[in-house]
Amino acid sequence: MLDYDLLRLIWWALVGILLIGFAITDGFDLGVGALLTLIGRNDDERRIMINTVGPHWDGNQVWFITAGGAIFAAFPLIYATAFSGFYLALMLTLFALWMRPLGFDYRSKLEDKKWRTAWDWAIFASGFVPILIFGVAFGNLLVGVPYTFDEYSKATYLGSFFGLLNPFAILAGLISVSMILMHASVWLQLKTDELIHQRATQLASILGIATTVLFALAGIWIAFGIDGYAYVSAIDVTGPSNPLLKEVAIVDKGWLSNYGQYPWMIIAPVLGLASPIGVTLLSKIGRSGWAFVCSSLSLTGIILTAGFSMFPFLMPNSHNPSYSLTVWDASSSHLTLTVMFYAAMVFVPIVLSYTAWGFWVMRGKITKKDIDGSSSYAIY
């Protein structure tokens, strides 16, 4: 049996990998939905855009569901506390996500222009709203979330819904929107031709620069305007999952300390800054495949930067820093993590295999010929 501290670290890494997988796969189809009314100028163009993600979006959703399930099983205190504090925001996200399958299915039921336009805006909301909220949520984690525990370790959120909309969280939301729309624009470069391809290329070039600028601004803000968290008491990496048994303090430049202790972590912010520039340059010279690689690396770097900066903190507590939830005191039992680890070793490769197979089978561009009925590719 693997050691308890190693299993906790493994599950922290696995949850991060699942979130990155969700951002890369489900990110481009959420982004395509958010771009539907911007890049698509008529019904044919919008149908082409929808059909670029039509074969993949429901499979991509597996990453989101699996990440949520992994957090629930591996870090139940995080799941319970986050859903308590972010309840309204998460419900808004779910309501928005429900509009995507409804929009895909119902917009084609009638030929009426007003009907289809209404569903196009519903699909836009189904993409834009979750992208923004996910970014705002990560921003709040870096700032700290106000909550407390009673004697039974039951969490109570002390803030408000509008309290989540603080300036840094809004910046994090803008980073999320910029990087996901960039990713979606590169996807459209790969999967379309003619006018849609041209518009997507132009937009990806702009968003690549915007993502780098916004991410750099967030880094400066964290370095000089946001205090981090640090253990004051000794860290018990194999102790019981009780967040009330430690002492934590808010320290100046606390979110930068890991980069001094583990210099290799600097690769994450470097990827987050450099890869979007690569997207801009590669898009301009027509190398869409490599632009998609750079876009995926930029998402990976930005998400890893947040994780590396906060480690071992998962949900810092701005009300009482010592109640912050960390990798070492918010996990499930040793046995639970062990059983889940071996299950993951079986099923994660299966998910990766059928995902790769699905993308391989449905490779190629979507054109007007496909949606005209002369091809069996289009489904919407």
pLDDT of residue 319: 92
pLDDT tens for each residue of 73-85: 999 999 999 888 8
Radius of gyration of the chain (CA): 21
Mean pLDDT for the chain overall:
91
Residue 5's nearest CA partner among 304, 344, 239 is 239
The average pLDDT across 194-211 equals 94
pLDDT at 28 over 80: yes
What's the pLDDT score for residue 365?
Answer: 87
Is there a contact between 104 and 54 (Cβ–Cβ < 8 Å)? yes
What is the model's pLDDT at position 378?
59
Domain layout of the chain by residue ranges: 4-374
Q: How far is CA 265 from the centre of its chain?
A: 19
pLDDT (tens digit per residue) in 262-286: 999 999 999 999 999 999 999 999 8
Mean pLDDT of 198-220: 96
Region 199-220: what's the mean pLDDT?
A: 96
At residue 249, the 3 state secondary structure works out as strand
Q: Greater confidence, 78 or 377?
A: 78
What is the CATH superfamily name and number for domain 4-374?
A: Formate dehydrogenase/DMSO reductase domain (1.20.1630.10)
**Per-residue pLDDT, 247:** 94
Cβ burial of 24 (10 Å; 0-12, 13-18, 19+) is buried
The set of residues, in sequence order, having a beta carbon less than 8 Å from that of 75 and lying 6+ positions away, is 11, 15, 314, 325, 330, 331, 332
**Whole-number pLDDT of residue 377:** 57
Task: Reply yes or no: is the peptide bond before residue 167 cis, omega within 30 of 0.
Answer: no
Supply the pLDDT for residue 132.
96
Measured between alpha carbons, how far is 63 from 74 in angstroms, rounded to an integer?
16
Q: Under a CB-based contact definition with an 8 Å cutoff, are residues 140 and 161 in contact?
A: no
For residue 40, pLDDT over 80 is answered with: yes
- 354 pLDDT band, cuts 50/70/90, is confident
Please state the rounded mean pLDDT for residues 106-119.
90
Q: How confident is the model at residue 8 (pLDDT cuts 50, 70, 90)?
A: very high
pLDDT band at 150 (very low <50, low <70, confident <90, very high): confident
Alpha-carbon distances of 230 from 15, 257, 355, rounded to whole Å:
22, 9, 39
DSSP, residue by residue, 82-124: HHHHTHHHHHHHHHHHHHHHHHHHHTTT---HHHHHHHHHHHH
Helices 167-191 & 194-225 angle (0-180, nearest 10): 150
Model pLDDT, residue 333: 93
Give the residue from 266, 274, 174 showing the smallest Cα distance to 214: 174
pLDDT tens profile 43-67: 889 999 999 998 888 888 888 888 9
pLDDT (0 to 100) of residue 194: 85
pTM equals: 0.93
**The tokens of 135 are what?**
């970014």
Whole-angstrom distance, CA of residue 371 vs CA of residue 273: 38
Q: Residue 375 above 70 pLDDT?
A: no
pLDDT digits (tens, 9 = 90+) for 284-319: 998 999 999 999 999 999 999 999 999 999 999 999
pLDDT digits (tens, 9 = 90+) for 168-182: 999 999 999 999 999
pLDDT of 211 strictly over 90: yes
DSSP-derived secondary structure for 154-184: -EEE-S-TGGG--HHHHHHHHHHHHHHHHHH
Which residues does 35 contact at the CB level (< 8 Å), separation at least 6?
49, 127, 181, 184, 185, 188, 200, 203
Compute the half-sphere exposure of residue 251: CA atoms within 13 Å on the CB side of its CA: 15
Residue 370 DSSP symbol:
I
Task: Please answer whether residues 96 and 129 qualify as being in contact, where contact means their C-beta atoms are separated by less than 8 angstroms.
Answer: yes
Please write the tens of the pLDDT for every residue from 129-140: 999 999 999 999
Q: What is the pLDDT of residue 323?
A: 93
Task: Give the separation between CA 344 and CA 190, rounded to whole angstroms.
Answer: 32
For residue 168, the tally of other CB atoms under 10 A from its CB is 17
